Amino acid sequence: MPAALPISRAAAAALVALAAACASPPPPAPVAAPACVPVEKPACPAPEPPPVVVVPPPPAPPEVEYRGRLQPAAWADLPDWGRDPLAEAFTAFTRGCPVLEAEPHWKAACAAAAAMPAGARDADRLAFFESHFEPHQVVNADETVTGTVTGYYEPLLHGSRTKSRKYRYPIYGVPQDLLVVDLASVYPDLKHKRLRGRIEGGRLVPYLARGDIEGPGEPLKGLELAWVDDPVELFFLHIQGSGQVLLDTGERLRVGYAEQNGHPFRSLARLLIQKRELPAERTNLQGIKDWARKHPGRVPLYLNANPSYVFFKPLEGELPGPIGTLGVPLTGERSIAVDPRVIPLGVPVFLATTWPGSSRPLNRLMVAQDTGGAINGGVRADFYWGFGDAAGQLAGRMKQSGRMWVLLPKGYAPPARLGAGSPS
């Protein structure tokens, strides 16, 4: 037999002790002592229990905020329906058909629009809308049917491709480190919800706010599309979402919304009212610009109170208007920005409101082709007035009450409750 492997004295003692503990001991030998002290038998080591694996329940999806509904209506409910010339509204609608036709319920209406002859009369366009659509009144979450209608426009700025003492305020393109997370990939109900931020130390953190971006560190240096001469005009370019820059070379550069830094929009007008810088009746576009020119030293502080920041992209080619969220050019006085969680993009919308700063009726057919950070809720619209100073004067004065009716294809029933996850 092979020789046994040597073990240490201590190991041998341990093995003996373990064997003694686990085996029944022999009867004790008699002793002369008057009493014996019993020795307890050590217990054998119990096996370790299996680990308990706790599986956490899946996170509950965030609650979808109810924003309103679309209620069936009659054509007679629309004020002045049939009196509004429809040529421009019809053209605006057909521009969106390449996008709408992806949905089966839009194919018939778009095919009929494409077949409309170029010399069609307004009566033919009226018949087109009445034969292919059904009106639905927009009802707010609180069951009211009126809301706010504001205005926006495409401004003209003055700038240069080169930074100088005159042109020193940059229009930035999209930063490469801006991360956009589409929450619909995790929660399909959150179709229109996105998170924006950047990676820092392996964590997703909020992106830079306006004050950081425009600070002395110039964290986005190298991403400038152009430089302009007026920080207030640039601020309003961010609010409008698109604009044109007349360059010092005589060229025109058209820029459009590309992305946003993810921070909430804070109203400059509301802040100026709170700080008693301006009375409420003067916090329109013209009033704020006048205040800024009189108080240039206070401008950066007030502008940076709005942490939201917009990044732009150049728009190439000859376009009839800036590109809206739908992806097609906007039409002056016929396109509106809406909340797409209530009103689907691309649909005709009959708007009943009043002209800026007056009680004169403004009832006309529009097309929902854009969105905006401040456009939230059912009866809430931003009226696109077009390009230039005249359009800016109207947009700056517009804050009216209004009602809205959405024209949906015949046979299409909208969801009963509309909110963050509503289909478009």
Domain borders along the chain are 66-266+306-419
The token pair at 232 is 């207030």
Q: What pLDDT does residue 17 have? A: 40
Residues with Cβ within 8 Å of residue 369, at least 6 apart in sequence: 92, 95, 96, 324, 325, 326, 328, 330, 331, 335, 336, 337, 345, 346
Q: What pLDDT does residue 183 have? A: 73
Q: What pLDDT does residue 4 have? A: 38
Minimal CA–CA distance to 367: which of 396, 344, 387, 388? 344
φ/ψ of residue 22, rounded to 5: -95, -10
- Amino acid identity, position 4: A
Which residue reads 């209530």 in tokens?
A: 342
Q: What pLDDT does residue 191 have? A: 65
**Rounded Cα gap, residues 219 and 208, in angstroms:** 9
Q: Are 138 and 378 a contacting pair, CB within 8 Å?
A: yes
290 by DSSP, 3-state: which?
helix
Minimal CA–CA distance to 350: which of 403, 303, 400, 311? 403
Minimal CA–CA distance to 351: which of 384, 376, 374? 384
Q: What pLDDT does residue 25 have? A: 46
Q: What pLDDT does residue 294 have? A: 93
The token pair at 72 is 């069936």
Long-range contact set of residues 98-105: C-beta below 8 Å, sequence gap at least 24: 98/328, 99/326, 99/327, 99/328, 99/345, 99/346, 100/346, 105/409, 105/411, 105/412
Q: What pLDDT does residue 374 have? A: 84
Residues with Cβ within 8 Å of residue 342, at least 6 apart in sequence: 67, 68, 70, 138, 377, 378, 418, 419, 422
Alpha helices in 115-252 (DSSP H): 122-132, 210-213, 231-240
Those residues of the chain that have pLDDT short of 70 are 1-64, 184-192, 416-424
Matching CATH number, 66-266+306-419, of 3.50.50.60, 2.40.40.10, 3.90.1150.10, 3.40.1010.20: 2.40.40.10
Instruction: State the DSSP H helix or E strand holding residue 88, giving kind and residue range, or none if neither.
Output: helix 87-95
Q: What pLDDT does residue 3 have? A: 38
**Rounded Cα gap, residues 145 and 379, in angstroms:** 7
**Rounded Cα gap, residues 247 and 226, in angstroms:** 9
**Rounded Cα gap, residues 150 and 336, in angstroms:** 10
